[in-house]
Amino acid sequence: MFLVIAFLHIPKTAGTSFKSLLRANFGIRCVESNKVKRSIYTDRDLKFARKVFIRIGAVVGHNLKNPVDHLHGQEITLLTFLRQPVDRCISHYQDRVIRNGLTMTFEEWISLEDNQNLMVRLIAGSQDLQRAKEILAGQFLFIGFTERFEESLKLLNSLLDKPLDLSYRTSIRSRSNHVREEIIKNQRSMELAVRHNELDQQLYDFAFSELYLPLLSRHSQGIEKVTVISDRFTRKQRLLFHSSIRYNKMIYRPLVKILDK
């Protein structure tokens, strides 16, 4: 059985950049889980995808929630990226305002449970910090960090049996940071951001100090000469990248709509 990378894409953690890397490596073997239009991607969805994709190499998407309860099999290799929680939270809100036209105030938005401690909830399925820690430590092959994105890519390659080509496209950056700046200047908003991301902060600190840094120490010599390239694909990588997008949009999504009842 070929290993399948299952990438839990937590919003605003450089996941779109990492997804571009997976597309450029796997092409039409990269499954976009969001194409099923369901809130949680499960074994049932992956079973159907195996009928559409030849020898799946990676599954990516925001709906790979609580993957240890919904995706099973020894071939599944779990990866994710974390980001400093308050920064991630504010960036998430700003993105919703600018790109999606959200009209809620930050105080209204952060008061909703769905927007609190998002990293813990996506990993554990609830605001269960201890379970999230146990899952990261015992079930995930790798946890990268947005603030150390390229270093994280190099470290990941040292863990994979078949290294990836570390070329990626930088994700879309916000057209403006005025929303972020207003929140940062507002003491009440910042207090709420900290309060409602306390569990995420503890998870972040645990993953960085207990998982990432020891792993980095063990593999530091091996990654010194590894090259990471941003915003520059070879012709082959461009073909793989665009074929992945087209296949998921023009083949996988229509077949899901027609056949996966």
**Does pTM surpass 0.85?**
yes
Query: Residue 104: which pLDDT band, with cuts at 50, 70 and 90?
Result: very high
pLDDT at 1 > cutoff 60: no
pLDDT at 232 > cutoff 80: yes
Architecture of domain 4-259 in CATH?
3-Layer(aba) Sandwich (3.40)
pLDDT tens digit string along 30-47? 999 999 999 999 999 999
CA-CA distance, 206 to 133, in Å (whole number)? 7
pLDDT tens digit string along 143-194? 999 999 999 999 999 999 889 999 998 866 666 788 999 999 999 999 999 9
* Residues recorded for the chain: 261
Backbone angles phi, psi at 59, to 5 degrees: -125, 130
Give bridge partners of residue 142 from the DSSP assignment.
Answer: 79
H or E stretch covering 80: strand 76-82
H or E stretch covering 61: strand 58-61
CA-CA distance, 128 to 106, in Å (whole number)? 24
**Domain coordinates of the chain in residue numbers?**
4-259
Indicate the DSSP class of residue 28: G
